[in-house]
Amino acid sequence: MILRPRDVPPRVSFALEQAGVHPLLARLLAARGVRSADELDEAPSRLLPPQQLKGAAEAGRLLADAIAARRRICVVADYDCDGATACAVALRGLKLLGATPDTLGYVVPDRVVHGYGLTPAIVDLALANRGAQRPDLLVTVDNGIASFEGVAHARAAGLQVLVTDHHLPAAPQGAVAVPDADVIVNPNQPGCDFPSKAIAGVGVMFYVLLAARAELRARGAFDAAAQPKLESLLDLVALGTVADVVRLDANNRRLVALGLRRVRAGRLQPGLAALFHAAGRDPARAAGFDFGFAIGPRINAAGRLSDMTLGIECLLTDDPARAAELARQLDAINRERREVESGMRERAEAALEQLLPGDLVPPPALALFDESFHEGVVGIVAGRVKDRLHRPTFVFARGGDGRLKGSGRSIAGFHLRDALDLVAKRHPGLLLRFGGHAMAAGCTLAEGGVETFDAALRAVAAEWLDAATLTRTLRTDGPLAVEWFNVQTAALLDAQVWGPGFEPPVFCDEVQVLQQRLVGEKHLKLRLRHAGQERDGIWFGRTEPLPERTQLAYRLALDEWNGRQRVQMVVEAAAD
């Protein structure tokens, strides 16, 4: 592991400090590209305006027309946390804007039965589920940009279709194509100049609601002083944004910060409050970490192993007792997910030992498949293998339809969705479908295609990745001055919004290892001497002992015991 310090523009850091930003925080923000204190303004008015999002105004008119005419609207959700929160935001927001409960409904695909997106089967399910209450308008959330057949099937059945999505559109034969929907809202569609290309699916739906509110306001449905408070949905927007691991550009950071502000103030949806309780977390001290590692996984578990309807219903209910029961069910499913994941990780580790005996250098990319793998957990396992080997990784399982369903995770410098596109061009017929982002993507293979796919992915990786990219490098924030090693600093850092593209602070110091022992059989508990002071530390997932003196990269973390808070070093890496 190479530990490399971030560059800190001294003038910017000084200017931020002069504007009242904490000195340490000023240095950290400057190193992450913040250039003025204005960028730290988290007021809702600083969000990018919906007018910049192509299709949002048209979508607002479509929804305003549907609400005025009492047309029936069916939301087509997705089975991950982004899709679940987007569905809840859509339904709650449309209700705030005047749609009546009898005109609103939703369907969510079963991962095993239906696959991903707006398929013809999902259109038929939407029609069947409503019986005599046939929907007039389908609204996709977090999906639809590649649903050519599903959109065509819906429109042939006489339905209007509004696609809200954030995934990259398909590019057959190199030309970007989008389905023939009535309206498409997606910052990544051709001709859209919206600056935040990294906005999550839930964020896109929130912007569509903002546009619909503006349209209804212009029609005289309400005045500005009495307009519906869509800001009440920002806790769900923040959850979906963090859970989908999108890049936290300035606009995404504001969305998350505004949502966290509501959660900490106790103004959160009953389902979200119940999930915090089930996870043993305190909403008053909520951080992005809670959304990403405590709440999000409990929502995602429903889509992985059960039915995402549980997660959506938890986010939709206003009954605290029902929310608590649904949160308990989601918590139980998440425990089951962890057991399934643990077994898959063990089998993946065994496969890697055969593939990479001894100190053999891993290939530039790899794909793993086992008949026992569960398709709902392949993405998580791919991420674990990617983290261990620092290689783009796909993990495949056999789906309910007998096809091979894969999920991949990537490293910086390797655009996974573009790599799949190149594999598809070089091997026609190998990929039955694919889609995703730079860092995460999915695909379906023809029977027996894993070996061909593995070789094809390795070939692309060998062309695109050099030795420097394949070398694990961690950017650090340098040493932490002893005066900042305290509870107040840790709390200050926890209160900020960190994530992909705006990584949490990782400090780097030389330490003396005074004591080390294994806890839980897989974590290294440490007693360290740092800057002349003794510190507690822990390295999760590390079992090998450390030398007496070493350079560690670490995060500050608050540890609470018997009502007392203390700071410990959570180790991320050691210098080679």
Mean pLDDT, range 221-243, rounded to an integer: 95
The pLDDT, as a whole number, for residue 131 is 47
For the chain, give every residue range classified as CATH 3.10.310.30: 356-470
Mean pLDDT, range 152-175, rounded to an integer: 91
Does 130 have pLDDT greater than 80? no
Percent residues over pLDDT 90 in the chain: 86
The mean of the pLDDT values for the chain is 94
Question: pLDDT grade, residue 576 (50/70/90)?
Answer: confident
Rounded (5°) CA angle 496-497-503: 105
Q: What is the pTM of this model?
A: 0.93
For the chain, give every residue range classified as CATH 2.40.50.460: 474-574
Does 232 have pLDDT greater than 60? yes
The pLDDT, as a whole number, for residue 504 is 96
* CATH level 3 topology of 44-229: inorganic pyrophosphatase (n-terminal core) (3.90.1640)
Give 386-414 pLDDT, tens digit per residue: 999 999 999 999 987 788 999 999 999 99
The pLDDT, as a whole number, for residue 115 is 72
Does 518 have pLDDT greater than 60? yes
Does 458 have pLDDT greater than 60? yes
Strand, helix or coil for residue 204: helix
For the chain, give every residue range classified as CATH 3.90.1640.30: 44-229
Percent residues over pLDDT 70 in the chain: 98
Give 73-121 pLDDT, tens digit per residue: 999 999 899 999 999 999 999 999 999 999 999 999 887 677 788 999 9
Distance from C-alpha of 325 to C-alpha of 293, rounded to nearest angstrom:
21
Residues 6+ apart with CB under 8 A from 192: 53, 54, 55, 186
Does 173 have pLDDT greater than 70? no
Any idea which of 221-225, 245-249, 391-395 has the lowest mean pLDDT?
Answer: 221-225
Class in CATH terms, 474-574: mainly beta
Mean pLDDT, range 207-226, rounded to an integer: 95
Does 257 have pLDDT greater than 70? yes
Q: Which CATH number fits the domain 356-470, given the four candidates 3.40.190.10, 3.90.230.10, 3.10.310.30, 3.40.50.2300?
A: 3.10.310.30
Mean pLDDT, range 251-267, rounded to an integer: 97
Give 33-71 pLDDT, tens digit per residue: 999 999 999 999 999 999 999 999 999 999 999 999 999
Distance from C-alpha of 17 to C-alpha of 30, rounded to nearest angstrom:
10
In 97-157, alpha helices (H)? 120-130, 148-156
Q: What are phi and psi of 538, to 5 degrees?
A: -150, 145
Length of the chain: 576
Does 521 have pLDDT greater than 90? no
Distance from C-alpha of 465 to C-alpha of 365, rounded to nearest angstrom:
10
Does 313 have pLDDT greater than 70? yes
Nearest residue to 239 via CA among 165, 314, 169, 174: 314
Contact 351, 370 (CB under 8 A): yes
The pLDDT, as a whole number, for residue 129 is 66
